[in-house]
A and B are shown apart, each in its own frame.
Chain A
Amino acid sequence: MDTIFIDAKYNKEIRLDESVLKTLKKYKKIALFASVQFLNLENVKEQLKDHKLIVSKPDRTNATHQLLGCDVFHENLKLPEEPDAFLYIGDGLFHPRALLLASDKPVIQFDPMDNSHKILTRKDIKEILKKYKGSLMKFLSSRYIGIFITVKPGQQQFLFSKKLEEKYPNKDFYYFVGNNFDASQTENYSFIQAWINTACPRISLDDSVNYSFPMVNINDALEAEEVLKKL
């Protein structure tokens, strides 16, 4: 089967307005990111020439400055140095929230469609962080753990999840396979005390505030005590 990806690029010029430029003035080092639609950043880079621009290409992306929703882990961002703030170009809050999850630095989101901007900080995700901290603690103290494995080709991490058995020999792990994660299905397995998510990490972060059960991302579970100290 032949496969083609169509980026659906934003087809208008992207230029920062005076208001966001004023906001950015207080930050010297700025890491610039955008979703794939808004990667035409030449004007923006020119407008930021008085700042130190931090340039990176996160782990799974195809282009420099591109950000994916799953880039919620600091090491995935591949930053050559720590910025004072992030500038994200694009609409919506899903991608800039990934940066908030990956770093404690402020994120300025600029929407080129209506020339508006928002300043986001960790206060905007405090509910997520609070729930996640509780989930990590519950995971550490639980014996019966359910691991969710998706069949989605780009998210499937069955072999990687086996590392948990080496790291936590005193826990009992049960493997559950599905396509999309359906939280209501967990009610059928009431013996499970905590869940591990090996699919999209946003399931156990943004979505989990609506869950009654604890759920932790696989890589955080592998370093649960260290991650807890940072939260």
Chain B
Amino acid sequence: MNYDLELDKLIQRIKEKKHKRIIIQLPDGLKNRTQDIVDEIKEKTDAEVLVWMGSCFGACDIPLGLSQLNIDLFAQFGHNRFIRKEGW
């Protein structure tokens, strides 16, 4: 694996904030790592892990409606926070 998925950082955050339900969103190139990521988080925390089954084009593409599922933490892989600016 050539990419650092920083699962330790994510797991630490889940433990610190006592998150109960999290959702991960992965770009297509990392979707084949879903099982490894979910299994490791479940093994090391008590959190329930959901997987966003949809597009992940960038930090501009955050799923909507997550509040309906009482998600405590949303984790997007493969992008960093971007600066919203109107007008492309």
Q: Does B52 contact A (CB under 8 A)?
A: no
B88–A217 touching, CB < 8 Å: yes
Q: Indicate the member of B66, B75, B83 with the most A CB atoms within 10 Å.
A: B83
B64–A1 touching, CB < 8 Å: no
Chain A positions within 8 Å of B34 at CB level: none
Chain A positions within 8 Å of B50 at CB level: none
Indicate whether A218 sits within 8 Å of B83 (C-beta atoms), given known contacts A12-B2, A154-B61.
Answer: no
CB-contacts of A103-126 with B (<8 A): 113
A1–B80 touching, CB < 8 Å: no
B71–A1 touching, CB < 8 Å: yes
B88–A113 touching, CB < 8 Å: no
B10–A200 touching, CB < 8 Å: no
Q: Does A137 contact B (CB under 8 A)?
A: no
CA distance A87 to B85 in the complex (A): 25
Find A4's partner among B13, B58, B67, B86 (CB 8 Å cutoff). Answer: B13
B60–A200 touching, CB < 8 Å: yes
A2–B72 touching, CB < 8 Å: yes
Chain B positions within 8 Å of A70 at CB level: 58, 60, 88
CA distance A4 to B11 in the complex (A): 11
Chain A positions within 8 Å of B76 at CB level: 3-6
Shortest CB-to-CB span from B65 to chain A, Å, is: 10
Q: Does A231 contact B (CB under 8 A)?
A: no
CB-contacts of B39-88 with A (<8 A): 55, 57-62, 64, 66-67, 71-88
A8–B83 touching, CB < 8 Å: no
Chain B positions within 8 Å of A59 at CB level: 83, 85
B5–A8 touching, CB < 8 Å: yes
Indicate whether A60 sits within 8 Å of B83 (C-beta atoms), given known contacts A154-B60, A154-B61.
Answer: yes
Q: Does A157 contact B (CB under 8 A)?
A: yes
Indicate whether A1 sits within 8 Å of B74 (C-beta atoms), given known contacts A151-B64, A154-B59, A180-B55.
Answer: yes
Indicate whether A69 sits within 8 Å of B58 (C-beta atoms), given known contacts A4-B73, A8-B78, A219-B87.
Answer: yes
A68–B58 touching, CB < 8 Å: yes
Chain A positions within 8 Å of B75 at CB level: 3-6
Can you list, as one digit per residue, whether each of A146-168 has a CB less than 8 Å from chain B (1) or not (0)?
Answer: 00000111110101100000000
B80–A63 touching, CB < 8 Å: yes
Q: Indicate the member of B13, B62, B79 with the most A CB atoms within 10 Å.
A: B79
CA distance A1 to B72 in the complex (A): 5
Closest residue to B19 on the A side, CB-wise?
A2
Given contacts A60-B83, A62-B83, 18 further A-B contacts (CB under 8 A): A2-B13, A2-B72, A3-B62, A3-B73, A5-B59, A5-B79, A7-B6, A8-B3, A8-B6, A8-B30, A9-B3, A10-B3, A12-B2, A61-B82, A66-B80, A69-B57, A160-B86, A160-B87
Q: Rank and list the top 8 A-B pairs by shortest CB-CB distance, nearest first.
A: A154-B60, A8-B3, A2-B73, A11-B4, A160-B86, A60-B82, A6-B77, A201-B88
